[in-house]
Amino acid sequence: MYIVQIASECAPVIKAGGLGDVVYGLSQELEAQGHTVELILPKYDCMRYDNIWGLHDAYRELSVPWNGAAVHCSVYCGWVHGRVCFFIETHDLANSFNRGRVYGESDDPMRFALFSKAAMEFLLQSNKRPDVLHCHDWQTGLIPVMLYEMYQYYGMDHLRACYTIHNFKHQGIAGPEVLAATGLNRPDYYYQPDKLRDNYNNAINFMKGGIVYANNVNTVSPHHAWEARFSEVGCGLQATLEQHQGKFGGILNGINYDMWSPQEDKHITAPYCAEDLSGKALCKKALRERLLMRDSDKPIVCFIGRLDQQKGVHLVHHSIYWALSQRAQFVLLGSATESSINDMFWREKHHLNDNPDVHLELGFNEELAHMIYAGADIIVVPSNYEPCGLTQVISLKYGNVPVVRGVGGLINTVFDWDYDENLPEEKRNGFVFFQSDTPGLESGLQRAIDLWYKNQPKFQQLQAQGMSYDYSWKDPAKKYVEVYEHIRA
């Protein structure tokens, strides 16, 4: 099968969170299973160009109809760890993808509408006719709309669209100017409640468009699919998902064990495996040295992730002090886009600066993330909601025992050491708590820290059990292929 992935991120060239990992990892596994995969991304100024091999111009004169006129674009092609990627450079007056960052601009909906339109024009003009277009998140929600309403009439009638939602919170809300710009026009038609009209506001909703028009829609874990339909986690799209329930489901994300394996990781001090954890002790020592922390006989608890309300920042904050009070050390790696959250963690960083048992690293640092996964003993993931969550899955592979809140994909991947009645002890891999409050978090974290102090052999057994889980892309990719085959039939 010939599949084109269209997305705003792909690790390791451009990654703001899990979306980048998913786009890369799924593409790699689909290729390994014998399919042809190409990726289309925006050409950002802030990409890691050192991770692209052989970048060259592939289609210099792409004229993209836009706002009744045209925007001149150029398409570059390069290989990202063997994956063929097309990067669209837009020469628009707004300089849409030369902003020094991926998201957070006031004209984000217009930027990604332009990218989506350019991606469709690139396929059309270069005569690419994949079997399936796989689009991701709100940034590409207009692609199934344009495919169905416009491009199928230009000879792209056998293409099918699969749409994956990684986060319901960000949906892409815009006014009618987006319709005029993309050539969808006819606001009266698209503003109907069964089309693109937002379920609450008098506005266009990109994600709703993706749900309504794609041939198949999914989110990134089975439990989150259920939550999105039946709870506020659907962020206002519950009724739309209900209406389209026949084509909606959940497929758990995998991770890419070429990138995330303690046996092969180039960023860590020593390799290790479940049978021999001595390398992990060296990684722990190296982490402390790197972060100028005290070398002592204590467990290291960590948090890695965006510092965002979604991630339960109040509990992340609480876990730092609580872990310290329980004789553990704490390492945090996170970045915040909201200034109030950013300020709060900077204040904490200054406050804790002289404490040798804690380090807060504020910013995005891929290499340090690898060192922390390898060097820490326990990771906390106290999310308010979590579509899938990758940090707990990566942690399992690194023998870093997860303490998670029982929501979304966390509950599909972490099984409580003490209380999971559905699994025998030898299949359990972490600790789960349910309430989003400090007693809830403490109940999970205390059990993990206690096990580390009171029963090292059992703690190591738990680490080894987590490391033996296979959350690779093998099975999820097969499920995606089934979806692709279904929508092609």
Binding site for ligand ADP (CB under 6 A): 17-19, 21, 304-306, 333-335, 364-366, 369, 388-391
CA dihedral 304, 306, 311, 313 (to 10 degrees): 90
Phi, psi of 108 (to 5 degrees): -50, -45
Minimum CB distance to ligand ADP smaller for 52 or for 333: 333
Minimum CB distance to ligand ADP smaller for 366 or for 418: 366
Minimum CB distance to ligand ADP smaller for 11 or for 73: 11
| Sign of the torsion formed by the C-alpha atoms of 428, 430, 434 and 438 | positive
> CA 302 from chain center: how many Å?
19
| Sign of the torsion formed by the C-alpha atoms of 447, 453, 454 and 460 | positive
Minimum CB distance to ligand ADP smaller for 48 or for 128: 48
Tokens (6 digits) for 91: 């020469």
Minimum CB distance to ligand ADP smaller for 220 or for 483: 220
Q: In whole angstroms, how close is the CB of 16 to ligand ADP at the nearest point?
A: 7
Q: In whole angstroms, how close is the CB of 430 to ligand ADP at the nearest point?
A: 15
Minimum CB distance to ligand ADP smaller for 384 or for 446: 384
Residue 213 CB: number of other CB atoms within 10 A? 22
Q: In whole angstroms, how close is the CB of 366 to ligand ADP at the nearest point?
A: 5
Q: In whole angstroms, how close is the CB of 13 to ligand ADP at the nearest point?
A: 14
Minimum CB distance to ligand ADP smaller for 12 or for 175: 12
Cite the DSSP H helix spans in 12-149: 18-32, 108-125, 142-149
Tokens (6 digits) for 48: 């890691």
Q: In whole angstroms, how close is the CB of 201 to ligand ADP at the nearest point?
A: 24
**Cross-strand partners of 398:** none
Minimum CB distance to ligand ADP smaller for 18 or for 210: 18
Nearest residue to ligand ADP, by Cβ distance, number only: 18
Residue 428 and residue 435: Cα distance in Å, rounded? 20
Tokens (6 digits) for 70: 């045209």
Q: In whole angstroms, how close is the CB of 371 to ligand ADP at the nearest point?
A: 11
Length of the chain: 489
Residue 147 and residue 213: Cα distance in Å, rounded? 9
Residue 241 and residue 254: Cα distance in Å, rounded? 24
Q: In whole angstroms, how close is the CB of 402 to ligand ADP at the nearest point?
A: 11
Minimum CB distance to ligand ADP smaller for 17 or for 402: 17
Q: In whole angstroms, how close is the CB of 192 to ligand ADP at the nearest point?
A: 32
Minimum CB distance to ligand ADP smaller for 29 or for 89: 29
CA dihedral 321, 323, 327, 332 (to 10 degrees): -90
Q: What does the buried/exposed string (b/e) look like for 24-62 if buried means 16 or more CB atoms within 10 Å of the residue's CB?
A: bbbbbbbbeeebebbbbbbbbeebeeebbeebeebbeeb
Residue 276 and residue 436: Cα distance in Å, rounded? 36
Minimum CB distance to ligand ADP smaller for 109 or for 305: 305
Residue 422 and residue 350: Cα distance in Å, rounded? 45
Q: What does the buried/exposed string (b/e) look like for 274-304 if buried means 16 or more CB atoms within 10 Å of the residue's CB?
A: beebebbebbbebbbebbebeeeebbbbbbb
Residue 380: name the closest of 363, 398, 400, 360 by CA: 400
Residue 397, judged by CB atoms within 10 A of its CB (0-12, 13-18, 19+), counts as buried
Q: In whole angstroms, how close is the CB of 71 to ligand ADP at the nearest point?
A: 30
Q: In whole angstroms, how close is the CB of 123 to ligand ADP at the nearest point?
A: 27
Q: In whole angstroms, how close is the CB of 390 to ligand ADP at the nearest point?
A: 4
Distances (CA, A) of 258 to 264, 279, 283, 304, 481: 8, 18, 19, 20, 21
Minimum CB distance to ligand ADP smaller for 19 or for 448: 19
Q: In whole angstroms, how close is the CB of 335 to ligand ADP at the nearest point?
A: 5
